[in-house]
Amino acid sequence: MNAFFSLVARDLRLAFRRKAEVLSGVFFFVVVAALFPLAIGPEAAVLRHIGPGVLWVGALLASMLTLPRLFENDWRDGSLEHLLLSPHPLGLLVLGKICAHWLVAGLPLVALAPVLGLQFDLPPDALSMLALSLLLGTPVLSCIGAIGAALTLGVRGGGVLIALLVLPLCVPVLVFGAGAVEALGSGLGAQAHLSMLLAMLLPAVFFSPWACSAALRIALE
């Protein structure tokens, strides 16, 4: 576990040295959330209806902006080969990189979502549910995106290929994440949607490092 935490700390330090790359996803999320109310108009009922979906789509696209660099920088400077030759399990090291990616690209979105949700006239309980659904859903996006980043490592136009591979797999997360907020607003309860997000999170955390490890070994052969 020392190697796991050391790798997470290393990736966080490298990310904060490249602040432009870190802030690009956050800035994109803020811009998307700010432009939709301006384009649609001030009708409160319409904004409350589309708000959860808009914020979830923005979070999905913002998290994807940093996916091409998840393994690429380590691949270019040779650090990735050292990780493969390390005596520590590669899956555990890959999980550390995924956790670092979520801390940089996912956690800020969770923190900003309730603030941006005020533009859509969402009530306090809906804002809390939005943050909770993002807290459960964004790690799934990072896990699925990591598989796409590993499969397209070293491929020209990898960013476009990641989108083609990842977006269809992220649709269930998007549906249940936004549906949790809508179900709460309609009085149906959001427990079922949160349970589905948790049911997707646990297999994603377990299988994603294994799949990424296999893809990275193939890419470096």
Non-local (6+) Cβ contacts of 15 within 8 A are 21, 22, 100, 104
Mean pLDDT, range 121-139, rounded to an integer:
91
Tokens at 207, concatenated: 């299988």
Residue 38's pLDDT is 83
Mean pLDDT, range 210-221, rounded to an integer:
83
- Taking only the tens place, the pLDDT of each residue in 88-108 is 888 888 898 899 889 988 899
Count Cβ atoms within 10 A of the Cβ of residue 85 and give its class: 0-12 exposed, 13-18 middle, 19 or more buried. exposed
- Residue among 210, 90, 194, 84 at smallest CA distance from 143: 210
Residue 158's pLDDT is 64
Mean pLDDT of the chain: 85
Tokens at 85, concatenated: 């030759």
Residue 21's pLDDT is 72
What's the pLDDT band for 196 if we cut at 50, 70, 90? Answer: very high
- Taking only the tens place, the pLDDT of each residue in 18-73 is 777 778 888 889 998 888 888 887 788 888 888 888 999 999 988 888 888 788 77
Of residues 76 and 107, more confidently modeled: 107
| Extents of the domains making up the chain | 2-219
Q: How far apart are CA 80 and CA 182, in angstroms?
A: 42
Top-ranked range on mean pLDDT: pick from 71-75, 115-119, 134-138, 185-189: 134-138
Is the pLDDT score of 157 beyond 70? no
Residue 137's pLDDT is 92
